[in-house]
Structure 1
Amino acid sequence: MLLWLMGCGGTQAEAPEAPPRAGGDATIDDRTSRAFAQAAPNLSEEHIALHREGDAAFAAVFVPGPAPVNPGLGPAYNNASCNGCHLRNGRGMPVMGGGPTRTQLLVRVSLPDGTPEHPNGAVPVPGLGLQIQDQAVYGASPEATVTLAWEERAGAYADGTAYGLRSPRITITLPDGSSPPANMLTSLRLPPPVVGLGLLEAVDLATLRALEDPTDADGDGISGRLNTVWDVQKLALAPGRFGWKANSPNLRQQSAEAYFNDMGITNPLFPDPDGSAELPVATLDAAVFYAQSLGVPARTALGDAAVKRGEVKFKDLGCVTCHRDTLETGEHPVAELSHQRIHPYTDLLLHDMGADLADGRPDGDATGAEWRTAPLWGLGLTQTILPYSGYLHDGRARTLEEAVLWHGGEAERAREGFRQLSASDRDALVRFLQSL
């Protein structure tokens, strides 16, 4: 009975009064700095072995070829391993050029007009492609140098309490000292947390379609929709689900894109011109399974009065309209992910977040002002996993309060509601977010 009271029961036995298990049967009871790096506890012995193989693939550090182990890095790249961007599977740091952890921001680029090389709407920039690789192996040059500065602005809550916000400004310099094309579109991207991705992949497409409201037919001011992107395996358009703008249709393609764009490593989905690949298919499969099979940390402080009050405020402000607290998974090739009741706080849909957060760069069918609703599970562990990590797509928010205050567009009403709250109620809402 004690275990049930602690919320350790399975999803299928979840009673109305039982504490919600964030990842269903894939929930883990760990709130330490290793909380994002644990296998789902319901994996079979066979799948635990596969998860360990994937863990090794995710940690593997690549080197320039030819080499007997992990060759293929570069010649230009952003990082040398998956772990390099997603340290302990958490968020990245809002810096350029890295440092000891190298979990730095990436810069996506494209041109606004011309004929795309691939039918996904993004037009590559000559010499830069679709992402600036700002590191290079010995003897090669980075594609560009990127410097980052912050622009500060002041604001105040309705009760007069002052706050400060910051937004990024980047300068891009090509190797010859020149600037890139004046019409080049740019978008800073922070490495997102890896936790819970398999469960999100397992949510039925029909469930997400049912959440869409592209014309705001119900008049609530929220008009979410799925992105439409190019599936490189099916050679067809497909619904997007992963990435800050939901620009990848599945975890296999997202992983392959990361190997190719972040590390400069060709692979079965993005091969060399002659069809060969530097990354073995087995390594790609292992990395994909690792991302799919990670557990989701359980919530904490469920009995705390402030947390409970903050959850009520979160719902009253309408935040759950996009940050859906409950979804059901369907069938998935990884059986342990199937038919789970999960609490990710996302609808996986695109929403217009207003001019202040807009990057002006379309991605698939996503406009320059649209972003996919970020999952909030594990949010309270962000600074535990990697202190000084940033929030939002470009790491501009230093605190959860700042992240809320940057919301605009479809979320402007919720943002203004938060700004009008008393200090006590604001603190309670933040306490709720920290409990996730």
Structure 2
Amino acid sequence: MDSCDIHRVKSEHRNEGVAREARADTLKLVGRNNRFFSKIHLSVRIATLAALSGAPAAIAAGFDLPTNRTDLSEADLKRVADVTRPTRDFAKAEQYEAMQAGAATSVDPATEDSFSHISANIPFDEEQNFKLGNALFRKLWVSAPSSTQASDGLGPFFNARSCMSCHVNDGRGKPPEGGPSATSMFLRLARTAKTSEEKKAIANADIVNFPDPVYGHQLQDLAVPGLAAEGRMAISYREEKVTLGDGEVVSLRRPDYAATNLAYGPLDAATTISARMAPAMIGLGLIEAIPEADIIAHADLDDADGDGISGKAAIVRDRRSGKIALGRFGWKAQNATVRDQSADAFANDIGISTPDRPDAHGDCTRAEEKCLEMPTGVQKRLGDEEAPGPILELVTFYSENLAVPARRKASFPRTLQGKRLFYETGCISCHVPKFVTHRDTANKAQSFQLIWPYSDFLLHDMGEGLADGQQVGLASGREWRTPPLWGIGLTRTVSGHSFFLHDGRARDLTEAILWHGGEAEKARNAFSSLSRDDREALITFLESL
């Protein structure tokens, strides 16, 4: 952060009652105009998604999601609409812009631990739960049976022994880059629906896709002693030259993936493989606190405004309640809550059962008989799962409350130049700058915060270049959820690398932008046409986030 930002942060947010004052600041800021966000009362029927390419004919028919916020008065709705409207003034930083997670923002110095701080407005009596969750996030699980009975149950197949193994320093993963380990990156395995029953399950949002009959949902490259791992991920790259508008040539690397050393026979012919990299963990609770109506307001399935952007909402089920909800976590928005995302990681990445995913054999299938014969770590005196409810709850609490770092150099002229270009090239059509979170959140730390995630959390067709051919619920093989950008400028500091996109193919932010296609092609071409100085300014803006 620059000195001006630091001064503003300290004067506005670091005194007594910071959470209460930040909510008051939000009310002041949003009360300056009465023009209402025209999309907030859009009538959204998920049945219209039936026309989507590759989706079953009646997918999600009859489901409704909220199109109105119920936590605010009409006057407050208008004020929120005003404060979240993108700025047109790039002469100075916006008020509170440096605090991109509101009162929850961490103002600690930028270090490798920048993604590991507790949200700044968490009350003291909840810090213990955060620390316990942190310890469980770092916990190394071992195979059963073991003398450390509270720590056994690993696998039998797995990709990592702990959450931290994938999310090093709570940051993003990376490709193996020729090394022996692919711990923070793995292959998803899935096929589309075949039978009428399977299509109905997709249409009802009861399942997002179907696993390989032998290898399940995920290729696990590690196994407990006495069991052969399923196989390994193989990656090869082809360099492709791209010439920008001013003649500069950039080399992009196109990956090819394969599942090799398969120990239990070939993959099914219908199985698709998709490489996924572990995302950063910051700001997840705030993302969950964004009202569904405010995300849906940005959806434009039929591109009614003619801007070429037609983001759509992902419809899933909250695994705990069984109710229909908006998907907002995962590369294809397949999970509605941080808890669902955590339970999936326990089950698929580590092979640990939880109340929400109670199978103690993890991703073993009926075809992997020896895997199903291996002992589990269930200890009846501790509960019916290897990670009982309190463990899942603490890891979820920790994941929900990892702080987003404050902006750096938000008020610098070069950053503001890049911000203007980011807006003018159309990037904010998907990377929506701001939201105000729900007032009635379970955790008051996430309540009524003005946040700057730079994402609409919708699904977008990103073109053939990024396509993986794998349908996940409503997301086709060409569609991905818009990832939030906050913290992206600290990737090298926290994670020690600069690999981006879902599979780390991009080696820097310029390459990441140039891979954009489909709905993002217009913005990508606008970036490509900028002068080198302007492109560098835009990257400077991203690095400030």
Same fold by TM (over 0.5)? yes
Is the 1:302–1:308 contact (alpha carbons within 8 Å) kept by the matching residues of 2?
Answer: yes
Distance across 2 between alignment mates of 1:193 and 1:21: 18
Alignment of 1:218-257 (within 5 A): 218-257=305-344
Q: Would you say 1:95 and 2:173 are equivalent positions?
A: no
Q: Do the aligned partners of residues 41 and 18 (structure 1) sit closer, same or farther apart at CA in structure 2, a change above 3 Å counting?
A: closer
Task: Describe the superposition over 1:6-40 as per-residue Cα deviations: whole angstroms up to 9, x where unpaired.
Answer: 32324343665454411000011132111100001
Q: Would you say 1:435 and 2:544 are equivalent positions?
A: yes
Alignment of 1:13-24 (within 5 A): 13=25, 17-24=95-102
Report the equivalent of 1:28.
106
Q: Do the aligned partners of residues 2 and 358 (structure 1) sit closer, same or farther apart at CA in structure 2, a change above 3 Å counting?
A: closer
Q: Would you say 1:308 and 2:308 are equivalent positions?
A: no
Q: Do the aligned partners of residues 399 and 4 (structure 1) sit closer, same or farther apart at CA in structure 2, a change above 3 Å counting?
A: closer
Letter in 1 for 2:231: A
Q: Would you say 1:323 and 2:401 are equivalent positions?
A: no
Q: Do the aligned partners of residues 142 and 27 (structure 1) sit closer, same or farther apart at CA in structure 2, a change above 3 Å counting?
A: same
Instruction: Report the Cα offset of residue 134 of structure 1.
Output: 1.1
Letter in 1 for 2:358: P
Q: TM-score, normalised by structure 2?
A: 0.76
The unaligned stretches of length 5 or more in structure 1 are none
Task: Kindly name which structure, 1 or 2, has the bigger radius of gyration based on alpha carbons.
Answer: 2
Question: Which of 151, 155, 158 is the aligned partner of 1:70?
Answer: 151
Report the equivalent of 2:395.
287
Q: Would you say 1:265 and 2:352 are equivalent positions?
A: yes
Local SS of the residue matching 2:297: helix
Q: Do the aligned partners of residues 325 and 176 (structure 1) sit closer, same or farther apart at CA in structure 2, a change above 3 Å counting?
A: closer
Report the equivalent of 1:84.
165
Is the 1:57–1:283 contact (alpha carbons within 8 Å) kept by the matching residues of 2?
Answer: yes
Q: Do the aligned partners of residues 91 and 18 (structure 1) sit closer, same or farther apart at CA in structure 2, a change above 3 Å counting?
A: closer
Report the equivalent of 1:187.
274
Question: Which of 129, 134, 137 is the aligned partner of 1:55?
Answer: 134
Report the equivalent of 1:208.
295
% same residue: 40
Q: Do the aligned partners of residues 28 and 176 (structure 1) sit closer, same or farther apart at CA in structure 2, a change above 3 Å counting?
A: closer
Length, aligned pairs only: 435
Local SS of the residue matching 1:28: coil
Local SS of the residue matching 1:213: coil
Distance across 1 between alignment mates of 2:207 and 2:261: 26
Instruction: Report the Cα offset of residue 317 of structure 1.
Output: 0.5
Is the 2:97–2:452 contact (alpha carbons within 8 Å) kept by the matching residues of 1?
Answer: no
Report the equivalent of 1:137.
224
Q: TM-score, normalised by structure 1?
A: 0.95
Is the 1:349–1:373 contact (alpha carbons within 8 Å) kept by the matching residues of 2?
Answer: yes
Is the 1:96–1:146 contact (alpha carbons within 8 Å) kept by the matching residues of 2?
Answer: no
Distance across 2 between alignment mates of 1:424 and 1:174: 47
Aligned residues: CA RMSD: 2.2
Task: Describe the superposition over 1:364-403 as per-residue Cα deviations: whole angstroms up to 9, x where unpaired.
Answer: 1111111111100000000111122420011100000000
- Structure 1 window deviating more from structure 2 (73-82 vs 91-100): it is 91-100
Letter in 2 for 1:293: N
Report the equivalent of 2:184.
104
The unaligned stretches of length 5 or more in structure 2 are 14-21, 30-93, 361-377
Task: Describe the superposition over 1:96-152 as per-residue Cα deviations: whole angstroms up to 9, x where unpaired.
Answer: 79757x643111111234354883231111121111111111111112222111121
Local SS of the residue matching 1:206: helix
Letter in 2 for 1:7: V
Instruction: Report the Cα offset of residue 46 of structure 1.
Output: 1.6
Report the equivalent of 2:251.
164
